[in-house]
Amino acid sequence: MLACMHAHVLAVAMQKGGVGKTTTAMNVAYELGQRGLAVLLIDVDQQAHATSGLGVTVGPDDATMFEVLHPDRPERVPLSEVIQHSAFGVDVAPGAYALRSLERTGLGTAGQLRLAQGLESVSERYDVVVIDCPPALGDLTVAALAAADDVLAPVSPGADELSALRVLGSTVLDVQEGLNPRLEIRHVLATDFDGRSQLARDVRRSLSTDWPAEYLGEISSTVRVREAKARGVPIAVHAPSCTAAEDYQRVAKRISERMTASV
């Protein structure tokens, strides 16, 4: 474990779906665990694909992040009570479709801080906490940003992705001013990358030269990533020799090195 008293909290966020956000969250969490770090993945995405992607099944009597974050419960469910152990060395605080109702009704300012407060009781158990945010900039994402030290923004090739990154940047500034002054977008990552595509190369150039965040490189485009997600396993378990598996190993190495340097 790292020689620090509290976990480093990394929110994986992007307002647009289909950019590899959840795939990045679960595979970075797994690879950080493979590097000997104690890792918790918190899933606040209503689709809960990071939960299932790490092989965690939520039973009908299991509490999830919905119970942790619900603003109207007379008794708050502690974050520690929803954490499950996955088969891949990463603990998981599972998401649930019920989170959709919280996005619709809102959390309020007190609710937006509930995740940060919940982390205080478990932070000393972990070296790093990875939060998979919803593909939107509503209250659940704000709650994740309020709890985070920094943001990893995955960006796939597309006409709107860089615009979405700019909008995320504006939201991060708002959260800095109102809830969490330490927050910043520290890492950007090109996902679903095919070097034969001019659009992909343009996105890579923009991320590596136009953004103050550290550019972590590319995650290669491959069907193996989708197969692994469907099987409920990390890409390195499904296809360990796949280029994308090596890409996520490299990304996790860089993140862990930066965390160690900042301790």
CATH number of residue 134's parent domain: 3.40.50.300
pLDDT at 105 over 80: yes
141 Cβ partners below 8 Å, 6+ apart?
11, 13, 15, 44, 133, 134, 171
**Two tokens, residue 230:** 């469907």
Q: How far are the Cα atoms of 13, 71, 138, 224 from residue 83, in angstroms, in the given order?
A: 21, 19, 24, 28
- CA 115 centroid distance within chain: 14
CA–CA separation, 20 vs 210, rounded Å?
A: 21
CA–CA separation, 39 vs 129, rounded Å?
A: 6
pLDDT at 1 over 70: no
**Quick one: pLDDT at residue 263?**
58
Q: What percent of the chain clears pLDDT 90, i.e. is strictly above it?
A: 80
Name the nearest CA neighbour of 192 among 150, 151, 165, 161.
Answer: 161
Q: Is 1 a domain residue?
A: no
**Quick one: pLDDT at residue 5?**
54
3-class secondary structure, 187: strand
Q: Is 2 a domain residue?
A: no
Q: What average pLDDT does range 163-179 have in this prediction?
A: 94
pLDDT at 56 over 50: yes
Q: Is 3 a domain residue?
A: no
Q: What average pLDDT does range 43-47 have in this prediction?
A: 96
Q: Is 101 a domain residue?
A: yes
Sheet strands side by side (includes 185-193): 84-85, 91-93, 39-43, 128-132, 8-12, 150-155, 185-193, 214-220
Q: What average pLDDT does range 31-59 have in this prediction?
A: 96
Q: Is 211 a domain residue?
A: yes
* In the chain, beta strands by DSSP E: 8-12, 39-43, 84-85, 91-93, 128-132, 150-155, 185-193, 214-220
Given pLDDT bands bounded at 50, 70 and 90, which one contains residue 262? low
pLDDT at 3 over 80: no
**Quick one: pLDDT at residue 36?**
96
For residue 10, count CB atoms less than 10 angstroms from its CB and return exposed for 0-12, middle for 13-18, buried for 19 or more: buried
Total domains in the chain come to 1
Given pLDDT bands bounded at 50, 70 and 90, which one contains residue 74? low
Tens digits of residue pLDDT in 199-214: 999 999 999 998 889 9
Q: Is 39 a domain residue?
A: yes
Q: Is 29 a domain residue?
A: yes
Q: What average pLDDT does range 69-84 have in this prediction?
A: 87
**Quick one: pLDDT at residue 73?**
72
- Mean pLDDT for the chain overall: 92
Range of the domain at 65: 8-262
More confident call, 83 vs 72: 83
CA–CA separation, 153 vs 12, rounded Å?
A: 6
Q: Is 144 a domain residue?
A: yes
- CA 139 centroid distance within chain: 16
CA–CA separation, 69 vs 57, rounded Å?
A: 20
